[in-house]
Structure 1
C-alpha cells in the first residue's frame, strides 16, 4: 500500500523540486527520515498519510487503496446542534459544490424525495421556516422549547441567511437535472401543518409559507418548459423528470468531464460525501435508469406536464384550506 501511495505522490510533485525535500517539508521531518519513508524503510503513520493526502489533494479512497474491496471511505457533513452548527453546515455544503460547479459542462442530478434545497434557499418565509424545522429536529434545547416560528424568525442572524442564500445561488450557474414524484411536495406541506396544528406557527405565516411554495412550483414549471434556469436564453439547462417507479432519496450527484461525486443523506440534514469512483459510477447508472423509466416533462406533452403541476398546486391549496378550516373550527 505504501509503495503505491508514494508512487502516486511522485506523479503529482513539481518537476523542479526534490521529492525527498518536498516530503520532508510537508511532514516537518529531516531529509534522512523522509528518504527512509520514500524507500519503504520506515512506515508512514496514519497522521503523516493524512497530511500528505491533504497537501497533494488525494482522496481518502486513493490513500487507503480500497477501490478493489467492498469498503469505501466517505466524508461526513458537519454536525448540527445549534444555529452556528447550521451555518457551518451551509458553508461546508457550499465549499463542497462550488469547485465542482465551476467546471465546464458540470451537471447536478437531484433525486427529489423533497424539493431541492437550492429551490428553497431564497429570501422567503419558506427558507426561514425550513431552518426552524431543522433546528427543532436537531437542537435538543430548541426541541424542548415552546418558541414559535413567529418569535424565532426575529432572532435569525444575518450571517445564517447569507450562508443560505449563497448556497441557493449555485443553482443559477450549473446544468440541472431533477427527478420528482407526485409526493415530492408532501414533506414540506406536512411540516407546515404539523407545527401549525401544534400552535407553533401562526395562521398568517403558515399561509405565507404555502404561498412561497406556490411560487417555487411556478418557477420550476417555467424552468421546465424553458429547459433552462432563469431566463429562457440561459446557457444552463434544467430538465425535470416525473418518476413513478422508483423511490426518490434526496441524493445529489455532481458530474463533471473528469469525475463524479454524490451526496446522500442519512439523517435530517447529515449526509455522506462519496467520491469513490466505482460507487459513483453505480449511483450514476442507477439515476440514469430512473430517468429512462420516467417522463421528461419538457417533452412529455402539454397535458402530462400541466396535470403534474396542477396536482402539486392542488396539494398546496388543500393545505391552505386545512389551515383556514382549523381556524374556523376554534369555538373559544
Structure 2
C-alpha cells in the first residue's frame, strides 16, 4: 500500500487550524461528502486527493496549495476582509473580531500578543461613551458611511446601542485570553488626537462632550494600571472578578504597528494591521516563527511593569495621564 507523506503532512497542517474539540476526520468527510473510512484513507495518505478535492480543502481552510506540494518560496498567503463601503461594514468588522477571539478561545493553550501603536480597541470598550466615539469616528472617517456624512457626535445619542451586544461579547471573549501587550508612551496619542481633531472641526456637539471623553480616557488609564499591577484583566467596576493573565511591557525605543499575534496550542497566527482597523492574517509557519522570535526579542529589550516594577509602572501611567490632562485643560481654557 502506497503512503503519501506530503499529503499526510498537509492534513496535519489542516488539523492545526481546527479547535481542539473538532474531529478532523469528521470535518473532511463532511466537506468532501465522503465516508469516514474514505476520509481516514486520505488523511493517512493511502488515497491521493484529486485536484477538485484539493481545491475544496484549500478554500475551506484558507490555506495555500503550496502547503500540499511542500513548496518553499518567498510568497506568503494572507487572508482577511476589507471595507466594502456598505452601511453594515462596521458591524461585519465587529463580528469578525468576535469570531477571531472565539477561535483563539477554542484552544486549550492560547495567548495573544499586541505590539501597540494605538491603544487596543478592547480598552476603548470599557466605557460606553468612549466606545461610541470610536465607533462613530471609524464609521464616519475611516469606513465613510454615507449616513454619517453630515452628522456630529454626541454622547447623548443612541448610536452605541446597535453595537452594545456585540461589544459585550467581544469584551467577554477578550477577558478569557492571556495577553501580552508591548506599549510605548505614544500608545494613547491616536485616540487623543481623534478627540481633539473632531473638537477643532466642530464635529463634537459640545465642549462638555470633549471634556467627558478626556475623562473617560483617564479612567481607562486607571484601569490599565490596575490590570498591570495585578497582572490580570479587570473590567471597570468589577475589581473582584479577574480575567486571564495580563502582561504589560514598555519599550521606549520602538513605536508599535498594531501587530496582533496569537498562539493556539501548536499553531501560530500573525495579523497585520492595514486600512486603520482591518487585519490580514497568515498561518505561514516560517513567517510566524520569525515573527514570534521578533516579539520575544522585543520583550527582552522591554521593561515589564505588570506585577513588578512599581516605580516604573507609576511613572509610565502618570506620563499617560499628563498627556490627557494637558489636552483637557487646554480645551477648558479655550472655552473660558
Say whether the fold is shared (TM-score over 0.5). yes
**Conserved? CA contact 1:214–1:313, under 8 Å:** yes
Match of 1:239 among 247, 260, 270: 247
Separation (CA, whole Å) in 1 of partners of 2:214 and 2:160: 23
Q: 1:44 aligns with which of 32, 39, 51?
A: 51
Distance 2:330 2:70 in 1: 53
For 2:174 and 2:319, locate their aligned partners in 1 and report how far apart those are by CA, in whole Å: 25
Aligned residue for 1:220? Answer: 224
C-alpha contact (below 8 Å) 2:128/2:160 kept by paired residues = no
Q: Which shows bigger deviation, 165-174 or 271-280?
A: 165-174
- Deviation string 1:181-210 (CA, Å, 9 cap, x unpaired) is 010011110000000011111211111111
Distance 1:233 1:91, change over 3 A: closer
> How far does the alpha carbon of each residue in 1:112-160 deviate from its partner, in whole angstroms, 9 at most, with x for none?
1111111112351110110111112234454983310128x73526342
Q: Distance in 2 between matches of 1:262 and 1:96?
A: 12
Task: State the SS of the aligned residue for 1:291.
Answer: helix
Unmatched tracts of structure 1, length 5 or more: 27-33
Q: Deviations over 1:212-251 (max 9, x none)?
A: 1111111110111111112578462111001112230111
2:298 alignment partner in structure 1: 290
Correspondence for 1:147: 151
Give, in whole Å, the separation in 2 of the partners of 1:309 and 1:129: 23
Offset from partner CA, 1:21-44 (integer Å, 9 cap, x none): 978636xxxxxxx9xxx658xx62
- Indicate yes or no: 2:115 matched with 1:111: yes
Aligned counterparts of 2:276 and 2:174: Cα–Cα separation in 1: 21
Contact 1:229–1:237, Cα closer than 8 Å, also in 2: yes
For the 8 Å contact 1:122–1:165, the answer to whether it is kept is no
Pick aligned residue for 1:183 from 173, 182, 186: 186
Partner of 1:156: 159
The 3-state SS of whatever aligns with 1:184 is helix
CA distance 1:327–1:292, change in 2 (3 Å): same
| Aligned-pair CA distance for 1:52 | 2.6
Given that residues 118 and 169 in structure 1 are in contact (C-alpha distance below 8 angstroms), is that contact kept between their aligned partners in structure 2? no
C-alpha separation in 1, matches of 2:72 and 2:240: 45
Aligned position for 1:81: 85
Which residue number in structure 2 is paired with residue 273 of structure 1? Answer: 281
Which of residues 320, 325, 328 is equivalent to 1:317? 325
275-284 or 67-76, which deviates more: 67-76
Q: 1:99 to 1:320 in 2, by over 3 A?
A: same
Q: Which is higher, the Rg of structure 1 or of structure 2? A: 1
Preserved CA contact (<8 Å) 1:101 1:107: no
5+ residue gaps, structure 2, are 16-22, 35-41
Pair 1:198 & 2:201 matched:
yes
Q: 1:53 aligns with which of 55, 58, 61?
A: 58
SS of alignment partner, residue 51 of structure 2: coil
Indicate conservation of the 8 Å contact 1:179/1:243, yes or no: yes
How big is the shift at 1:170? 2.1
Q: 82, 96, 99: which is aligned to 2:100?
A: 96
1:130 paired residue number: 134
- Once the two structures are TM-superposed, the CA of residue 264 in structure 1 deviates from its matched residue by 1.1
CA RMSD of aligned residues (A): 3.2
Q: 1:299 to 1:91 in 2, by over 3 A?
A: closer
1:200 is paired with a residue whose SS is coil
Q: Distance in 2 between matches of 1:310 and 1:16?
A: 54
